[in-house]
Amino acid sequence: MQSNKPEILMRNFDFYNNATWQQVKPKIKAIIEQFQQQSKPQIEDLKSFYQDLEYDHSFIQWMFPNFYASKFNPNSYKLTLEERNRMIKSETIRKRFYKNYILILRFFGILSKSKQVIVIDLPDDSNESNQYSQLQTQTIQKQQNPKGLATISVQESQNSNQKQSENSKIKQATLDQFIKSNQQTTKDEQQQELVLIDKNQFELCCLRNTHNLLRLKRILSSLSVLKHRKEAIQLCQFLKKELTNLGREKVYQEYFSGFDRYDEELTHKELKKKKGENRYFNAYKLLYVDEDLVEKVDISIIQ
């Protein structure tokens, strides 16, 4: 018996799940495939890469879906809550989405670069020395010779050598353990930093071809609702820094400041140090969802 329940279409989910990229034009499809398949894509014709992405206005809605219907591409589809929930549960989709993010960053002249921070917490020598001194006191035997000079038993020297050997072994074991665990760290788990590698392209996108500012707003929104909030905050703060350096902080304030961290995302310590007005997510909901969803979502939509 056939069900009368209408089929729920999930066009954005299908775009990433099927990964045929048929919804975008051939040139854009080829670029997406390159970034999806290569860990370090080599762009042979940078000028064409920039131009293809600049003049095509129908791909960004597919690559970065959000809860708004596009005014520029009627053939794209507004994200639904059910669709979004299915997308963020798929590790494969999240990885494909992230690779498309790396692609669009490169269009803006930005590179996402691995930044490994190595912190090795070795045993504190001073603490060990103090602990050893207490033990040493129990084994040292002082004897007065005829001249009144103290002599220390051989046992102290033996214990000292043994302790130094044990300390060296502890440190080496700690280092070996760190190296082993670090080798198992995946690229996705490595800390990333954003680096401006093409200032001219960044200025062209943000200061001359200003429709790209709307693209960036969509990207920030999409990143946030599709389980990449950390990347959205990082990009937002990067844009603040670079636009301020260009003397265009007003551009940041007008387009992007609303996407920065909210009070709910700050630690207790950060809240204590915070100055200025409160920033609660509820005041910025419309950056992420259209009016039909405002009453249905809370900050969990970006967590």
Q: What is the CA radius of gyration of the chain?
A: 29
Is 2 part of a structural domain of the chain? no
| 235 vs 233: CA distance, rounded Å | 5
Question: DSSP letter at 289?
Answer: B
How confident is the model at residue 146, as a pLDDT?
A: 43
| 261 vs 279: CA distance, rounded Å | 8
Is 77 part of a structural domain of the chain? yes
Is 249 part of a structural domain of the chain? yes
Q: Which residues have a Cβ under 8 Å from the Cβ of 167 and sit 6 or more positions away?
A: 123, 125, 128
Q: What are the backbone angles phi and psi of residue 83, rounded to the nearest 5°?
A: -65, -45
Q: Look up the domain containing 95 and give its range.
A: 11-116+194-302
Tell me how many domains the chain contains.
1
How confident is the model at residue 168, as a pLDDT?
A: 58
Q: What are the backbone angles phi and psi of residue 113, rounded to the nearest 5°?
A: -120, 140
Is 166 part of a structural domain of the chain? no
Task: Note whether 239 and 262 are within 8 A (CB).
Answer: no
SS3 label, residue 112? strand
- Amino acid letter, 22: Q
Token pair recorded at residue 60: 């960004």
Task: Note whether 28 and 59 are within 8 A (CB).
Answer: yes
Per-residue pLDDT of the chain (303 residues; tens, 9 = 90+): 455 555 678 999 999 999 999 999 999 999 999 999 999 999 999 999 999 999 999 999 999 999 999 988 999 999 999 999 999 999 999 999 999 999 999 999 999 998 755 444 444 444 444 443 444 444 434 444 444 444 444 454 455 556 555 655 555 655 455 445 444 444 444 689 999 999 999 999 999 999 999 999 999 999 999 999 999 999 999 999 999 999 999 999 999 999 999 999 999 999 999 888 899 999 999 999 999 999 999 999 999
Is 162 part of a structural domain of the chain? no
Sign of the CA dihedral running 241, 243, 249, 250: negative
- Tell me how far CA of residue 99 lies from CA of 47, 105, 109, in angstroms: 21, 10, 16
Scan for tokens 């207490």, then name that residue.
134
Is 165 part of a structural domain of the chain? no
Query: Which DSSP string do the residues of 139-171 spell out, in sequence order?
Result: H--EEE-TT--EEE-HHHHHHHHHHHHHHHHHH
How confident is the model at residue 191, as a pLDDT?
A: 85
pTM of the model as a whole:
0.76
